[in-house]
Amino acid sequence: MNIPFVDLKNQYHSIKEEVNNAIFSCLENTSFVGGKTIQKFETEFAEFLSIKYCVGCANGTDAIELALKVANIGKGDEVIVPAYSWISTSEAVSTVGANPVFVDIHPEYYTIDFSKIEEKITSRTKAIIPVHFYGLPVDMDSIIQLAKKYNLVVIEDCAQAHGAEYKGKKVGTFGDLACFSFYPGKNLGAYGDAGAVVTNNKDLAEKVRMIANHGQIGKHNHIVEGRNSRLDTLQAAILSVKLRYLDKWTNQRIINGNLYIKKLKNVDVITPILPNNMKHVFHIFAVQVNNRDNIMKGLKEKGIGVALHYPVALPFLKPYLHLEFTANDYPVAHAFSQKLLSLPMYPELTEEEIEYVCQSLKEELE
């Protein structure tokens, strides 16, 4: 059996007519940057989250950068980030001139380890970026409480967690600002790069829009030097169509995640935990497995698309080597970079395919 790691074609075919119509309508209107299509998606996505403002931008990395900028984070400031994430989380911090401060991750949740944050806070710490990693929410009550105590800005990185919920509320609605990526492989993916910043704060939302559009408020009225990081109109049109299916697709991911967990019960791997007060949306379904690299090779030979998220923890990537961290500084993130293996995960996976993956994994471990 051949099972890819992600399968975007199947999903496109299931909504082909609607997507094609949306694209052709932009082409007919020669509407490529800005316009009503953008506003429509922004309004719909804000409604989906139950938040007041959504500002589209070029990608999820820019979303984090824009959020940091409007929060006045810059040179000399420190920003707390998890030691295990995609590089965008720390990269955006450096791009605005601030310094990312890595905190190890929790050995069961894989998200930032709350008990290790406080010891990293200094007089220069200005913000914290919790990442809802793999689709599992961070314990936001604890984060918000800590942020209040130290007067920190909270910027949620929701790139892997569209529709995930903490205590019945969607992630992205807890922080001062939150950032989404609509990279094609994300749970809500465009057909190119796209992103958004969301917030309940009108002033911050307006600033994000201004900076993402060359610092303008109205044509030729430049208040500051900004960026060009607008959401592409074609992508907004596609995202509006896909947003209508997001709940259905998320439910299917959850069904698939639970099937994996059930079928892997007696297999020698550790599956994700599902805390009661959180809705995990399974962007990634990763298992902890010993001898990972050999198992990965074996599964690939059996036609199974497996992947690593991520093979190197952030503090040990080349751009951060000058900080001279050792594995002892981030033991959990370091260990998991060698143990976690991502199995195929997308809404369209069938039970038969999941069964094949689980059986194959079992065989490889014997």
Ligand X SMILES: *Cc1c(COP(=O)(O)O)cnc(C)c1O
Residues at the site binding ligand X, with contacts judged by CB under 6 A: 59-61, 85-86, 88-89, 131, 157, 159-160, 181, 183, 193, 195
Nearer to ligand X, 160 or 240 (CB): 160
3-state SS assignment for residue 188: coil
Nearer to ligand X, 86 or 260 (CB): 86
Residues 296, 343: Cα–Cα separation, whole Å: 10
Q: How far is the CB of 178 from ligand X (least distance, A)?
A: 11
* DSSP annotation string for 121-180: --TTEEEE--B-GGGPPP-HHHHHHHHHHHT-EEEEE-TT-TT-EETTEETTSSSSEEEE
Using CB atoms within 10 Å of the CB of residue 343, give its burial: 0 to 12 exposed, 13 to 18 middle, 19+ buried. Answer: buried
Nearer to ligand X, 195 or 347 (CB): 195
Nearer to ligand X, 211 or 295 (CB): 211
Nearer to ligand X, 96 or 361 (CB): 96
Q: How far is the CB of 28 from ligand X (least distance, A)?
A: 28
Nearer to ligand X, 51 or 138 (CB): 138
Nearest Cα to Cα of residue 336 among 158, 129, 109: 109
Q: How far is the CB of 24 from ligand X (least distance, A)?
A: 25
Q: DSSP E strands: which ranges in the chain?
A: 53-57, 78-82, 99-103, 125-128, 153-157, 165-166, 169-170, 177-181, 195-199, 278-279, 285-288, 340-343
Q: How far is the CB of 181 from ligand X (least distance, A)?
A: 3
Closest-by-Cβ residue to ligand X is 60
Q: How far is the CB of 157 from ligand X (least distance, A)?
A: 5
Q: Side-chain half-sphere of 177: how many Cα atoms within 13 Å?
A: 29
Nearest Cα to Cα of residue 191 among 1, 16, 5: 16
305: its two tokens: 């698309």
Nearer to ligand X, 56 or 257 (CB): 56
Q: How far is the CB of 334 from ligand X (least distance, A)?
A: 18
Q: How far is the CB of 316 from ligand X (least distance, A)?
A: 17
